[in-house]
Structure 1
Amino acid sequence: MTFQLDISVFRPDRPGIRKVLGDLEAEIMEEIWTHPGEQGTTVRDIFEVLYDRRRLAYTTVMSTMSRLAKKQLLRVEKQDHTYVYYPNMTQQEFVSLFVGRIVEDLLINFTGETLSAFGKQEQIGSVEQARHKLDEITRQRHKEEQ
């Protein structure tokens, strides 16, 4: 399953996944990822955990989980009269996806500067890997345009 992750905001000063998600979205996803993925989670499950910490309204949690489903981070299934949410990816898969998207954006928009920054890294081969990634991105974009 391929996901087009919409990253319209990147906050370098924020920790972890809060760099690309809001605080409540991140908190909900982190809680969902503590459960086995195939088990599913309800709004009530998340609300009860978060209420003690934040005193949120049930509808706030519900609308945020619905927004996460629209962003394709969650999928939702109706079971009887309850909506059950399942993560579409693990936390590590999410991190890899957004890091890849950010690196791709940097390579496309700031090619020279990004390659130069990779060149200053101590890891041998990072510049070659970045150039290879840029070539791969360029080929893919060219294919998509045709």
Structure 2
Amino acid sequence: MKTTSKQDIRSHCAVNYGVEIFGDRWSLLIIRDIVFAGKKTYGEFLKSEEGIATNILASRLAFLEEQGILSRTPSPADGRKDFYTLTEKGLDLIPIVLDIALWSAKHDSKSYVRRRKDFLARLKRDRIEVSEEVKALVRNGGCVFPQSKE
């Protein structure tokens, strides 16, 4: 893993700080899985179509927790499982993830977000309002596309 603590950050340029904390591919995909698909457990993240390796997933979850992006709590139903949720700091990444989805829908003809025409139209029309709605939804345990396969 590239960064293990806040002391290891190369510079405090605003772009560099963001890249060092959440800018790797896997971290953003974990955040995406929480926001869009409602995934909460290690096993659910492992099943994502991108095929993250188990060691990388464990490392990224630990890093995101250490950085205050995720919190981990034991599952009330099964103490062997942990639930990962976005902290307030993590929820503040939702507008960025939505902007990436909007950009991808514009430039990737096969983007699954394109098929969500109502959502995409609302996001284009009022990014701030949709971002706040999504934050509230995720804060309360929901997700943008329940039962989504991505």
Per the TM superposition, whether the score is higher than 0.5 is no
Higher relative contact order (CA 8 A, sep 6+): 2
Q: Give the TM-score taking structure 1 as reference length.
A: 0.44
